[in-house]
Structure formats: C-alpha cells, structure tokens
Structure 1
Amino acid sequence: MDDDLDVDLGYEDVEHAKVVLKKKFLPWHKPRKQYIRINQWNYFASSLVKALGINEEGKARSLEYLSLPGADLLDVRSLHSVCSEMGVKIKFKGLNYIPPEDRESMTDQLISINELRGLQYIDAASDVYPDHLEQLANKKSIAYQQIISQASTYDVINIDLCGSFLEAPPQDRQPNYYKALFELLRYQADRRTEDWLFFITTRTNKDMVHLETFKRFVDVMEGIFGSDNVIYQKFVDLGLVNQSALEGKKIVVDKIDGLSYSNLVSAGIGKWVLNALTDHMPAHNSKMLKTYGYNVHSNSDVPCDMVSFGFWCKRLPVKAVDTFGLAAGGINQQARDVSDVVRVSRGVILSSVSAMANVDDILNDADEFSNALRASSELMRSARYDVEEYEAWARAEHEKTKIRIISDSA
C-alpha cells in the first residue's frame, strides 16, 4: 500500500529524490545552538585532534565520533567544517529513532547521510542507527550491538538531549538514561587509553528533574562538605546556593531558589560523571570544561534551564609494585592517587558551574549575534533549508529573547 513505509529504503532510493528547501524550524536551529557547536563542541574536538596527533603524518586516522544527530546531522556537518581544515576524517556513529510512519524524516535522514558520505573528510563507514539512547543498556538492542558491541572506543561522545536525562527515579528498572550513560561511560573507561571528550546537553530546571534524583545530588554534596572543608568553603564563596538555604553544612531543599536548584543539578551531573569514571578501575579523570547554557522557556525562573556540559577525560595511571620484591621501584610511583584527583576535580566542577556562559546574554550583543547567525545560516543551507526564511525566523526568535532579557533585568 502507498501508506506503508518501505523499511528497507536505502541510499540509492534517495539519490534522485526531489530536493525542496525546508521551511520548518526547530529550537535547536537557533543561532545560539551553533554558537555552542563552534565554541564548545568543535573547539575542544579540534584541541583533542591536536592532543592525540591524529592529524599528523604517520598517526593519521579518523576521528571516532558518537552522537544523537537528528535527521539533518547538523552536529556532524558543523564538526566536518573544522576537521576538513585539519585534514582529519570523521567516522560518525549516531542513534536516531524515527517512527516508521514518518516517511519525510526518514527520507531526509537518508539524504543527509548520503550527502555527508560524499564528502572528502567523512569516513565511508559512518552511519546512523534506528534506536533510542536508553537501549544502550539492553545487550540485545540495535543500540548496544552497533554502538558498543561492534565498536571501538570513541574520541568524542556528544549526547545532545532535547529534554532531561534526570526525569526518571533512581534505580528505575525501566530503560532510562542513567543506565545507558553509565554503560557508555564505563565502556569507554574500561577500554580506552587515549584522552577523550564527553559532552551532554540537558535541562536542569526543577520540573525536568525527578525529586529523588535531586535529593541524591544534595546528599552527595552534603557528604562532600562533611569530609572536605575546602570544597565546602569554595561552594559558599562562589554563592552556588542562596544563603538562606544553607544551615551549616546542610542544604535546606525547601528554601532554595531556582538558580540554586539549577546550580546543584549542574554540580550533581559533574560529580555523577566523575564518580562513574573514578569509582572503578581503570579510572579516568573527567575535567569539567567551560559550560554553556541558555533559556528554553520565557517564564523560567533561572537564566539558563538548558545546559551543555563538557568533560575532558584522561586515563589515570595506576601505581604498581612487585609484591615478590624482585623489581625495584615499581611502576608509576609518581602518579597521584585517585582520591587526590577527585578532590581537585570537585573544585573544577564548582568553578565551571559558577562561571557558566549564558549564550542568550552573549548574543544580546549585535556583532556576536550577526556572527552566530551567519555561521548558522551556512549550516542550515548545507542541510537544504531555505536560508531567507530561516534568517527571518531566527531574527524573530532573537527579538523574543531580547525582550525576555530586558524584562528579567527590569
């Protein structure tokens, strides 16, 4: 029947498809998202390429990249512009479940993959698989088989969510992001020896975080305060929670304001990633990088309710001695203990949360917005969008944001 989707639709079926410029725009099409792609994802990915030397003669290989790319693969397109300048191919793997009845999105994704595979600096083995991120914890799923079981490790993992990965209750037995991300982080830690990057974008506002999950974050922070007065004092000095919500080293949940809630969630995410990578051997440090955020809903009580986190992950050397006493000196005796690394990283997390860059405020500057719009327009053009229509939409959305910023500061 005509209404049935051919699930075996392949790349050859879209080579001669009629291309119509798209005019439907979504929240992640705004220039502020491209600002993050350029200044966080692409910037640190290019830094990693240099650190690993994979753009050097004799060491050249593809950059292994995992993401949730969407049908347009905008993140891959943006990263390609950087990697092509460095002469480095991208081998991307993606997860994007599209309902069988959504023929338009399916065709659009196939066209996008076909386009990208035709580029000089895209590895031909790149692909996107039809499954949900949550299924990474299910060893029988497409996600697990393609992303973990049949894969090497990844140089860059980019988990860009529209919502929040914190909405499920702790230890929920249903498929959820906690299990999937923990599986992914430990997969990397157990097998990876080179440095790697982990990005995650998630909502952090109160109605997008399960109450029990938030309480776990508070309990962890209070536990740290009890054993590490330096971290507690830094937490207080940075003003991460309104003073009225602090009673000694206890956080009174009922008294925290919206910004304090978001700060605690952000710090909790940083600590959760750090623990996932350091609580088990082999351990990896996860240094939190510069954090970026923006506001999704105009009635939000916080400046940023969507936050993009980045972590530079590095395997920690293990001290070892010959218990037979035959070899003198041992191995890696100058390496820092994991506990010392964790203590320093906790402070970095607090500093990064405190110094979060508000992209809405940055783009309130006319020149910054013009630069971001120009870069975003070129990206949208590459994905077959009507740029004239897009720029009109982007400017209108930007005006709404400016009005909100003025209202909030009044």
Structure 2
Amino acid sequence: MDEFANAEVFGIVDEQTTPKDTHFDAWHRPRKHWIRSKQWWNALDELRKDRSHLYSNSFNILTLPGGELLDIRYFYQQLRKNKSSTANVERLRLTGFVNNLADYERAQRNLPLLGISDTSTGDSVIKHDNIDNLSRDGVLKKTFEDMGPFELINLDYCNSIAPSGNNNRIESIYKIVTHQCQHQSKPWLLMFTTRTTKGSVSNTFFSSAEELISNLLIESEDFLESFSNHYSDCLEITQQNLFHEAAKLKLKEEYSSQFSEIFVVGLLAWLLSTAREHGVKVKLTSVVRYDVEGDKAESDMFSLVLRFEKIGRINADPTGIANVENSDFGLENRGKIASRVVSKVKKAKAVESILFSNPEIYREISQDLSIFLEECGKCMTTFWEEVCREEVEKNGWTLEQVKRK
C-alpha cells in the first residue's frame, strides 16, 4: 500500500504543497459562530445536565453537517473541555445527511479525525441524500428510524424551513417531529435556522400559518391578548355585535414589514400544536435573528431552539370497562402554549447587536472561530482581511484589537 495514499484522511497535510482555502461562506462568519458557541452549545450543555440524561454517556444527533463538520467539531471540542460531575455525555452518535457529493466525500474523510466512530461500525452514519426526502418512504426513512430517537436535531438551513416550491421539506419536518414525539421518552432539542423573507417562504405554508394564527385569535383569549400586545398593527378589529369585538389578521400586504415575525409565530404555533397532539410539552428556550451576509439581509435569518418533553396522555377506555376519563396530565391548550412564544419572537435580539456591542466579545468569538477554520484548511489571512476587517473597522475598532491574543 502506498504510504502516502491516505495522507489527507489521516490529517497528514504538507503545508508547502497544499494551498489554503480562501473561500468563505456564511457559516464561516463570526456572527454564525456566536450561534454555534453561545446558543447551540449552551442548549446542548444544559440538556446533558438534565437529570433525565444523568446516566447517558452519548447523545444521538441528527444534523446537516456539511463537508467540514464544523458544528460537530465544535460540539466535540466542548464536550472534551467541559467535563462535568453532573453530566456523563461525552460523545455524539452522528446521523448526517449531505446532499452535495463533494461535501459528502469530504465529510467521510473528516469523520475519523474527530474521534467519532468509523461509519462502518454503524455507530455514526453520514448519507449522501437530501433530508427533504424523508417525506417519502425509502432508505433515508429507514436510516432515520434505525439511528433514532435523537436527543439533538440540528437543522441548519441556508434557506427557509418552508421554502417556496418545495413541500417535501415541511412534510419531512412534520414526520421528524411526530416520530420523535412518539418514540423519544426523554427531553430533546430541535435547533433550526430559517430564512423568513417573502421570497424565501412558501406562500402555501404561510397561508396555512396565517389561518392557524387566525384560529388561535378566535379560540384563545391568552393568545389574543399576547398577540394584540405585540402585533396590534397587524390586526383588524371587527364589531361582531353590540357587546363583542373580534380580531383577525390584516392582509399580509398591510403588515409586510413584520412578515418575518408573523411567519415565525405561525411556524412555532404549528410545531407546538403538533407536539401537543402527542402529549409533548414544548418550550422555546432561545430565539435570535441575524444577517447572513453582513448588513444586506435585514436580520432575515432566525435561529431557534425548542425543548421537547413527553408528558403523555390517557384516552378514555372505548369499551367502558375502565371508568377512566381523558387526561392530558395538565398540558395547556394550544392557544395558551402559543401565546408564550409571541413576545419572545417580537423581542428576539439581533446577533449583531450582541457581537458588535463590545470589541472583547467580537475578539473572543472570532479568535475561537479562527482555530476551527484553520483546522478545516482555511486561509487565516483571508479570514481576517476579507471576512473580519470591514465589519471591525465599521464599528470603530482595529483589526489588531480583535487579533490580539
């Protein structure tokens, strides 16, 4: 066997002959690493310390990892660095889907370098497939069922969770959530990002989300009060009779400036309602928004973390032999549950407002990110000069400030 044949596989790189990669995407930017390091890792760390997972030594994670496995690299490093007497989870059992062939092949090469078991053992699997195909029966569905249930599901979309012209994605999300609700008895997390502007969102799904919001406005005083407090300018008040007024959503053209937020409220209301039907309680633990490409997209990307916990429910005995009534163990109605997310969406902070509030915050995030990018073969000169310099100097800082060790 040629001793140099698999040099790249084993991380043996000749610095003089291997050029550094000067291409950087949105997920290589400091604002995205804030999501990775502050939002996602904090949620993962909190979950592994939950008493329900006290005796778990690994978590099953379903994700869209990309060729560099950047998020997985970060999680693994943090698990090694942050050993805890109250948490035994120190490894991940990865199930990943990569729809780009070059990225898929790169991910397969990178996987052994991270200390994750070889895919040949079946302990971790990366498939060359599109997770949207989960809406159909087939090999992908079997992989999902065999490797689950999952403690973490991280769906980091470059576009929308409900994209225009693609119903398969939202149907796949529904199958993922319902399967998890049926089979995962311990608390678990759904972390996802989604674009929210009109051009990126399916009109069909948005119309359904609007209808769900309208129904909640009618059936739930709690939801009506919360929505009125935060989005009164999106509502039209009608006089039903002498003593009663009703509220309904205006036409979306009349609240176009808040389209993104109404979409997210409707999306969350749908996910919460779906989980409730399966006796599962959901809490929106974190929501932030950010610009994908810098100051060009008006914070149209939302990043959300939901925590699911199975409560259970009992249906009355249809034979009548057992005199037991329906019970949902105290699960609140869907309107009350959905009312709690409205203010969180409205008050969602922009990552930029945090990241650029202090040069020390930016320095911490960008330097941490640079370590992982260098491991991925990225050119650090390009990173500092072309990715960071403009936004650093725009805030009145110098590049030397944030590069200082």
User: How does the TM-score come out when normalised to structure 1?
Assistant: 0.81
Match of 1:201 in 2: 193
Quote the residue 1:29 is aligned against: 28
Map residues 367-406 of structure 1 onto 2, 5 A cutoff.
Answer: 367-396=360-389, 398-399=391-392
CA contact (8 A) 1:241 1:263 kept: no
Q: Provide closer, same or farther for how the CA distance between residues 11 and 220 of structure 1 changes in structure 2, counting only shifts above 3 A.
A: farther
Q: Residues 376, 284 of structure 1: CA spacing in aligned structure 2 closer, same or farther, 3 A cutoff? A: same
- Which AA in structure 1 matches 2:361? E
Contact 2:39 2:286 in 1 (8 A): yes
Change in 2 beyond 3 A, CA 1:115/1:215: same
User: Deviation of residue 278 (structure 1)?
Assistant: 2.0
Residue 178 of structure 1 and its aligned partner are, at CA, apart by: 1.1
The alignment status of 1:145 with 2:139, answered yes or no, reads no
Structure 2 unaligned blocks of 5 or more: 239-246, 397-405
Shift, 1:112, TM fit: 1.6
Does 2:147 match 1:154?
no
Residue 369 of structure 1 deviates from its aligned partner by 1.3
Q: How does 1:6-21 map to 2 (within 5 A)?
A: 14-15=9-10, 18=13, 20=18, 21=20
- 1:313 aligned partner: 308
Q: 1:235 to 1:110 in 2, by over 3 A?
A: same
Whole-angstrom CA distance in 2 between matches of 1:187 and 1:401: 47
Name the SS of the counterpart of 2:147 in structure 1: coil
Match of 1:220 in 2: 212
* Aligned equivalent of 1:5: none
Confirm or deny that 1:46 pairs with 2:37. Answer: no
Consecutive unaligned residues in structure 1, runs of 5 or more: 1-9, 404-410
**Structure 2 matches for 1:163-178, cutoff 5 A?**
163-168=159-164, 172=167, 176-178=168-170
Cα deviation code 1:253-311 (max 9, x no counterpart): 244344411110010111121122223x3x212211220111236454xx420001111
State the 1:145 CA deviation.
2.3
Which residue type is aligned with residue 29 of structure 2? K
Aligned to 2:329: 335
- Does the CA contact (< 8 Å) of 1:292 and 1:356 recur in 2? yes
Query: Is the CA contact (8 Å cut-off) linking 2:52 and 2:187 kept in structure 1?
Result: no
**Counterpart amino acid of residue 288 in structure 2:** Y
Distance 1:73 1:226 in 2: 45
Whole-Å separation in 2 of the counterparts to 1:356 and 1:131: 33
User: What one-letter code is carried by the residue in structure 2 that aligns with 1:146?
Assistant: T
Which residue number corresponds to residue 408 of structure 1? none
Please say if residues 193 and 315 of structure 1, whose CA atoms lie closer than 8 Å, have aligned partners that are also in contact: yes
Alignment of structure 1 residues 195-344 onto 2, 5 Å:
195-238=187-230, 240=231, 242=233, 246-248=236-238, 249-279=247-277, 281=278, 283-296=279-292, 298-300=295-297, 303-319=298-314, 323-324=320-321, 335-336=329-330, 338=331, 340-344=332-336
d(CA) in 2 for partners of 1:14, 1:241: 57
Distance 1:111 1:399, change over 3 A: same
**What is aligned with 2:134?**
136
Between the aligned residues of both structures, percent identity stands at 17
Match for 1:306: what amino acid? M
Shift of 1:376: 1.2
Which stretch shifts more, 10-19 or 313-322?
10-19
Contact 1:214 1:265 in 2 (8 A): yes
Residue of structure 2 equivalent to 1:7: none
TM-score, reference length from structure 2: 0.82
Question: Structure 2 counterpart of 1:367, which letter?
Answer: E
Aligned to 1:183: 175
Alpha-carbon distance change, 275 to 216 in structure 1, aligned in 2, over 3 angstroms: same
Q: 2:79 aligned with 1:83, yes or no?
A: yes
User: Which 10-residue stretch deviates more, 128-137 or 256-265?
Assistant: 256-265
Per the TM alignment, residue 118 of structure 1 is displaced from its structure 2 partner at its CA by 6.0
Q: Secondary structure at the match of 1:318?
A: coil
Rounded to whole Å, the distance in 2 between the matches of 1:334 and 1:220 is 22
Tell whether the 8 Å contact from 1:288 to 1:309 is kept in structure 2 after alignment. yes
Q: Deviation of residue 28 (structure 1)?
A: 0.9
Partner of 2:58: 62
SS at match of 1:157: strand
Root mean square deviation, CA, Å: 3.0
For residue 306 of structure 2, what is the amino acid of its counterpart? F
Corresponding position: 1:98 with 2:91: no
CA distance in structure 2 between the partners assigned to 1:152 and 1:11 by the alignment = 32
Distance in 2 between residues matched to 1:357 and 1:145, nearest whole Å: 39
Amino acid at match of 1:296: V
Query: Cα distance, 1:200 vs. partner?
Result: 1.3
Stretch deviating more after TM superposition (357-366 or 62-71): 357-366
The letter for the 1-side match of 2:124 is S
